[in-house]
């Protein structure tokens, strides 16, 4: 189903309980998680960094927010997104 490279790229936190987890969505959410692991960012910054539209990033962030994977913060008039500390366990953490 997934190539070897895709298995390495897909993050455990990219899997959502409330949605069907298709390859494209998992890869997109993994890219968002990677971007947010470096620093809290706006939707525009994330979209530019991973090369997707703002609306696609917004949709994924909304779904990830509902499952507690990300948090939304207001800072100096901007909305920043960051990974939550209490989000889903990473697969590596669950297996340890």
pLDDT averaged over the chain? 83
Q: Report the percent of the chain where pLDDT is more than 70.
A: 80
Lowest mean pLDDT among 1-5, 19-23, 48-52, 86-90: 86-90
**Coil, strand or helix at 63:** helix
Q: Which domain holds residue 15?
A: 4-86
- pLDDT tens for 40-58 read 999 999 999 999 999 999 9
Sign (positive/negative) of CA torsion 39, 96, 90, 6? Answer: positive
Rounded Cα–Cα distance for residues 68 and 65 (Å): 5
For residue 18, pLDDT beyond 80: no
Residue 91 lies in a domain: no
Residue 72 lies in a domain: yes
CATH number of residue 65's parent domain: 1.10.10.10
How would residue 92 be classed by pLDDT, with cut points 50, 70 and 90? very low
Question: What residues have CB less than 8 Å from 12, skipping those under 6 apart?
Answer: 88, 89, 90, 91, 92, 93, 94
């Amino acid at each position: 189903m997934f190539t070897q490279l895709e298995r390495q790229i897909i993050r455990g936190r990219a899997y959502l309980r409330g949605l069907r987890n298709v390859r494209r969505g998992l890869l997109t959410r993994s890219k968002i998680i990677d971007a947010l692991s470096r620093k809290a960012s706006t939707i525009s910054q994330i979209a530019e960094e991973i090369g997707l539209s703002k609306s696609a990033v917004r949709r994924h962030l909304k779904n990830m927010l509902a499952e507690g994977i990300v948090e939304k913060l207001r800072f100096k008039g901007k909305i920043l997104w960051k990974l939550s500390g209490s989000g889903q366990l990473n697969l590596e953490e669950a297996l340890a």
